[in-house]
Structures are given as C-alpha cells and as structure tokens.
C-alpha cells in the first residue's frame, strides 16, 4: 500500500512539473501587436493579421475609450 501511495505521489508531481514546463514554452513563442487602435472590424482585422503573419488570429479588443482596436498575435 505504501508503494502505491509513493508511486501515485511521484506520478502526480511529474505531471504537474511537465504541465508547467509545456505552458511556459507555449507562451514564450507568441508575439503580438496592436494593428489599429480604433475602428476595428473583426473580418478586416482577421484578414489583415493573416496577410501579415499567416495566422487568422485577429481580435477586436476594447481600447478603454468605448471603441475597439485590432489586436494580432502570432507564433514568433
């Protein structure tokens, strides 16, 4: 029984460490840029991001002034 508990604890710690490493590596390879500060139109924003970086990752994000800006993120 003690071996089972020890093995379970070891596997749990291994999974936590592995997941943390994968998450850090994933976030390290992303770049981002605000393409337009105001007047975002979602379809145009996605199209512009795809033309510039080859990824359909354009989003309209609030700029805090009641308008939306085009935000693009891609794999560096």
Structure confidence at residue 76 (pLDDT):
84
Q: Quote the DSSP letter at residue 65.
A: S
Reply yes or no on whether the pLDDT at 67 is more than 90.
Answer: yes
Structure confidence at residue 65 (pLDDT):
87
Reply yes or no on whether the pLDDT at 45 is more than 90.
Answer: yes
For residues 29 and 1, the model is more confident at 29
Structure confidence at residue 17 (pLDDT):
56
Task: Find the mean pLDDT for residues 45-61.
Answer: 93
Predicted TM-score (pTM) of this structure? 0.59
Strand order in the sheet with 30-36: 30-36, 68-75, 59-62
Measured in whole angstroms, how far is the alpha carbon of residue 19 from the centre of its chain?
A: 16
């Amino acid at each position: 029984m003690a071996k089972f508990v020890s093995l379970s604890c070891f596997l749990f710690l291994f999974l936590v460490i592995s997941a943390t490493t994968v998450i850090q590596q994933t976030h390290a390879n992303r770049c981002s840029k605000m393409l337009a500060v105001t007047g975002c139109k979602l379809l145009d924003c996605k199209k512009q991001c795809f033309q510039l970086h080859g990824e359909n990752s354009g989003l309209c994000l609030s700029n805090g002034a009641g308008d939306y800006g085009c935000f693009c993120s891609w794999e560096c």
